[in-house]
A and B are shown apart, each in its own frame.
Chain A
Amino acid sequence: MPFPILHTPFVVLSEIISLLEPKEIVTVSFCSKKARRLLKRRHQRREPLGWRLYMIDYGYWARVDIVTPHHSYPVLSAVHISVARYESEHKSIQMNGYKRGFSCDIPVLYFEDRVMGSKMIVDYVTDLFNQDVYGLIMDRNGIWAIEWINNRQEKMLNGLELVENDVYNCYGDAPLNYILRNKGATDYYKLRDKVSDNFRFDGKLGPAIQLSIHSNGHWVTLDNLKNFDFMRIEVEESRLSVSDLHSFLEHWRSGGSRRLAYLQLVFEKDTDFEHFDEELELVEKPNVVDNRLSDEEIANSLDGYSIQRDDGVKATIHFGIRHFVLIVWHPTHGVVFGGAQKNLGAAGLTIVIVRKDLIGKQQAITPAVFSYKEMIANNSLYNTPPTGGIYTTNLVLKWIKSKSGLNAIYELNLKKSGLIYGIIDNSNGFYHCAVDKRYRSIMNVCFRIGGAAGNEDLEAEFLKGAAERNMISLKGHRSVGGIRASLYNAITLEETQVLATWMNEFQKAHSA
């Protein structure tokens, strides 16, 4: 008995759609233009929580998968037209530029041109669900898709996975080189294609979260390892030697590869670790608190050799004839507490990150309004949150990400403040900064003009000239006087250059 779904009230229709699996939504969208419009409108309004869209481009077929928190669903695939007669259970239907069939439970589109087919199914599904492509899984012939995806969506691909294809009985050095040099993903790289013994890579990769070289990791050299900026690195078929590992640990101990939290090497050949620990400068086991791991997991992980970095961070090493594992125990903060102030948004907003196991251990006198336990239990605050400020901070965080993240912003701020401090330090005392070089702020550059004590007339003249050049609020804090240049994140390098130019000009005019 048919059910006239388009005649149901909107609420009912929405509920029914929400009960469909992603592939069923795609199938229904092929029923008619009207059905497709309806489904599309629904996903434009509401983004399904935690769905990720993957493009898979492999040999003679391509597919789009949607991964929800519970399942992975293939939703639509594209194959070459020559396969059509074997596969199609239902008769395929001629559409505009392609044939549509339905096999193995999901809709299949058949194309003369496979690349066109891949593009078409990605366009179709991203449009229907209003989602960007999250990850790309490809063999070496699918390399073209990296640039294509990154050009068609605002957000860069999160991850890339290069898989091996038995069809190619040769090495994939060129595609791997392309991937390593073009840095097409923000979060992870998984590499497993065949590469020749001669393959080498001399660049950097990262910062990102994960690098997995699942086979053919023989090309990874000590220099590569030092230049991979990842939180998690896994290399299989490694040819690194014991002395390479010693050098790497030396590099880590003196502050290299700071982001690294986990390194796992699986060796191609048996490796002799005899006396390895004697050169390690072992320290006592760290006291680890990590609520992502169970006590047993922590105990097992700690059962190895522990070493220490210059700044006190400890790491534990495990090794056997075929493997080497390094686990870094990053300092676990109890509470991270900070004001948005100017750099993260408008003043009035406080950002707090609390370790879960500390929640509920507040002093008995803690007022309810300050109790994290109360906030979490009620999933609410006692005060009305400043939604405008929260919104602004969200925009700022997105902006930081779009500028390639925290490190890039940090580097930029170093450049900005370095520009001004450089002028101060090379002014023969005309500009004077009272702060010890080791403790200088890269945000607020404070200085006096005309010597250590400052010449208030000169400072007033400097401020006047600055105002004429559209720079305001350079006057120092009322308690100390002098000049204070605030180089907050919103100030660009170009704007800082304007101040630098004026400082040089001013010095020339007055020290002559």
Chain B
Amino acid sequence: MSSTEQGTSSAAPAEPTTAPESAAAPEVPESFYYVHGKDKVVHKVSAGALQHSALIHGMISNLGYTEEQAKANPFPFENIDGDILQMVVDWCNQHKGKPTPPEDTNLPKQKEKLFDLVLAVNYLEIKELLTYCCKQVAMMVKGKSPEEIREIWMIPTDAEDEAAEKEAKKRAGKEAAGETAAAAGDAK
């Protein structure tokens, strides 16, 4: 009776001893990839850091590039400015392999670039960074009146919206007229 009890109790702690081993297991050498933005400046980034970007992660997970291949084929992001890509890469490196704390302040403070940053982060699908950026955008209007918000978020007034709509209609009308004129010209 007592021997079976001992047996079960000694079997229990066996499990956790294996856990640290498996955590320390990946001794695979880190692989690197290369990205560049509009300015063609190439950044070397580890696969671990790039994991934050669902877009890039999806691209590289099926490639199986060797170091040379990766170097020869940097990923071009022509729609992202060089300095923005630099910010994103820095953030990815800083947050490599760890979950972001909810109140992460480790972000470039350049507010002027926030819009470009949001677009880039959204494109690259970096979820945590996007949430952080969106929080900053939401914070901009705290305690502000509608008139102030209109300035901060560049929301046109009804009158401006109407004018823009009229303008668009006019242009569409002109283009249509131009086309029919051109078509008429062809017919002649």
Residues of A within 8 A of B (CB): 1-9, 11-12, 15-16, 19-20, 24, 27-28, 30-35, 90, 93, 100, 102, 105, 107
Residue of B nearest to A105 (CB): B143
With A19-B134, A20-B138, A31-B149 as given contacts, are A1 and B155 in contact (CB-CB < 8 Å)?
Answer: no
Contact of B158 among A9, A19, A32, A102 (CB under 8 A): A32
| Contacting residues, chain B, for A35 (C-beta < 8 A) | 155
CB-CB under 8 A from B153, the residues of chain A are 2-6, 28, 31
Among A3, A6, A30, A102, find the residue whose CB has the most chain B CB atoms closer than 10 A.
Answer: A3
- Please tell me if B186 contacts chain A, counting CB pairs below 8 Å: no
Nearest CB of chain A from residue B102's CB, rounded to whole Å: 12
Say yes or no: is B30 at the interface (Cβ < 8 Å to chain A): no
Q: Is the CB of B134 within 8 A of A15?
A: yes
Is the pair A27, B144 in contact by a Cβ cutoff of 8 Å? Answer: yes
Please name the residue on chain B nearest to A107 by beta carbon: B146
Query: Would A8 and B118 count as touching, CB distance under 8 A?
Result: yes
**B55 at the A interface (CB under 8 A):** no
Q: Chain A: which residue is nearest B142 at the CB level?
A: A24
Closest 6 CB pairs of A and B: A30-B146, A19-B138, A102-B145, A5-B153, A4-B154, A31-B155
| B118 / chain A contacts, CB cutoff of 8 Å | 8, 12
Q: Interface segment, B64-72, B81-89, B109-117, B169-177?
A: B109-117
With contacts A24-B141, A32-B156 taken as known, whether A15 is within 8 angstroms of B149 at the C-beta atoms is no
Asked whether A6 and B155 contact (CB < 8 A) given A32-B150, A90-B147, A107-B146, the answer is yes
What are the residues of chain B within 8 A of A107 when measuring CB–CB? 145-146
Q: Give CA–CA (A24, B149) in the complex, Å.
A: 10
Q: In chain B, residues 123-160, which have Cβ atoms closer than 8 Å to a Cβ of chain A?
A: 130-131, 134-135, 137-138, 140-147, 149-158
Given contacts A3-B137, A15-B131, 4 further A-B contacts (CB under 8 A): A8-B122, A31-B149, A31-B155, A102-B146
List the B side residues contacting A3 at CB < 8 Å: 114-115, 137, 140, 152-154
Q: Are the CB atoms of A9 and B137 closer together than 8 Å?
A: no
Q: Are the CB atoms of B112 and A31 closer together than 8 Å?
A: no
B54 within 8 A of A: no
Residues of chain A within 8 A of B114, CB atoms compared: 1, 3
- Give Cα distance in the complex from A90 to B153, angstroms: 19
Residue B39 lies at the interface, judged by CB distance under 8 Å to chain A = no
Residue of A with least CB distance to B112 = A1
21 contacts between A and B (CB under 8 A): A1-B114, A2-B151, A2-B153, A3-B114, A3-B115, A4-B153, A4-B154, A5-B137, A5-B153, A6-B153, A8-B115, A12-B118, A15-B134, A20-B141, A24-B138, A24-B142, A27-B141, A31-B153, A33-B161, A35-B155, A105-B143
Find A15's partner among B111, B130, B143, B158 (CB 8 Å cutoff).
B130
Q: Please give me the residue from chain A that is nearest to B139 by CB atom.
A: A19
The distance from the CB of A449 to the nearest CB of chain B, in whole angstroms, is: 70
The answer to whether the Cβ of B119 comes within 8 Å of any Cβ in the partner chain is yes
- Chain A hits for B149, CB < 8 A: 27-28, 31
Look across to chain A and name the residue whose beta carbon is closest to the beta carbon of B135. A19
State how many angstroms separate the Cβ of A460 from the closest Cβ of chain B.
Answer: 71
Q: B122 touching A16 by the CB < 8 A rule?
A: no
Interface residues of B in 87-123 (CB under 8 A from A): 111-112, 114-115, 118-119, 122
| Dominant SS among interface residues on chain B | helix
Interface residues of B (CB under 8 A from A): 111-112, 114-115, 118-119, 122, 130-131, 134-135, 137-138, 140-147, 149-158, 161
Interface centre among B130, B145, B155 (most CB of A within 10 A): B145
The answer for the CA separation of A33 and B141 in the assembled complex, in Å, is 18
Q: Assess whether B122 is in contact with A32, with CB atoms less than 8 Å apart.
A: no
Once the chains are docked, how many angstroms separate the CA of A431 from the CA of B152? Answer: 82
Chain A residues positioned under 8 Å from B144 (CB to CB): 27
* Cα of A34 to Cα of B163 in the assembled complex, Å: 13
A5 near B155 with CB under 8 A, answer: yes
CB nearest to A11 among chain B residues: B122
Contacts of A27 in B (CB 8 A): 141, 144-146, 149
Cα distance A454–B136 in the bound complex, in angstroms = 82
Residue of A11, A28, A34 near B141 (CB, 8 A) is A28
Q: How far is the CB of B111 from chain A (nearest CB, A)?
A: 5
Q: In the complex, what's the smallest C-beta–C-beta distance from B164 to chain A, in angstroms? A: 10
Give the residue name and chain of the A residue nearest to B133 (CB): A12
Indicate which residue in A4, A11, A102, A105 contacts B115 across the interface (CB closer than 8 Å).
Answer: A4
Partner of A90, one of B131, B145, B150, B152: B145
* Nearest CB in chain A: distance from B58 CB, A: 17
What's the minimum C-beta distance from B76 to chain A, rounded to whole angstroms? 21
Cα–Cα distance between A19 and B132 once the two chains are bound (Å): 10
Residues of B within 8 A of A33 (CB): 158, 161
Are B111 and A1 touching (Cβ within 8 A)? yes
Q: Which residues of B contact A100 (CB under 8 A)?
A: 146
How many Å lie between the Cα of A273 and that of B115 in the bound state? 73
- Among B135, B152, B155, B161, the one with the most A-chain Cβ atoms within 10 Å of its Cβ is B155
CB B112 to nearest CB in A, in angstroms, measures 5
Provide the residues of chain A in CB contact with B147, threshold 8 Å.
90, 93
Give the docked Cα–Cα distance between A363 and B155 (Å).
63
B139 to chain A, nearest CB (A): 8
Return the contact of A31 from the options B119, B131, B146 (Cβ within 8 A). B146
Q: Are B157 and A32 in contact (CB under 8 A)?
A: yes
Select B154's contact among A6, A12, A19, A102, beta carbons within 8 Å. Answer: A6
Rounded to whole Å, the gap between the CB of B150 and the closest CB of chain A is 5
The answer to whether A2 touches B154, judged by C-beta atoms less than 8 angstroms apart, is yes
Residues of A within 8 A of B156 (CB): 6, 32, 34
**Alpha-carbon gap, A107 to B141, bound state (A):** 13
Instruction: State the CA gap A413–B153 with chains docked (Å).
Output: 60
A12-B155 contact given A32-B161, A90-B147, CB 8 Å threshold: no
Residues of A within 8 Å of B111, CB to CB, are: 1
The answer to whether B154 touches A28, judged by C-beta atoms less than 8 angstroms apart, is no
Given A4-B115, A5-B154, A6-B155, decide whether A28 and B137 contact each other with a Cβ distance below 8 A: no
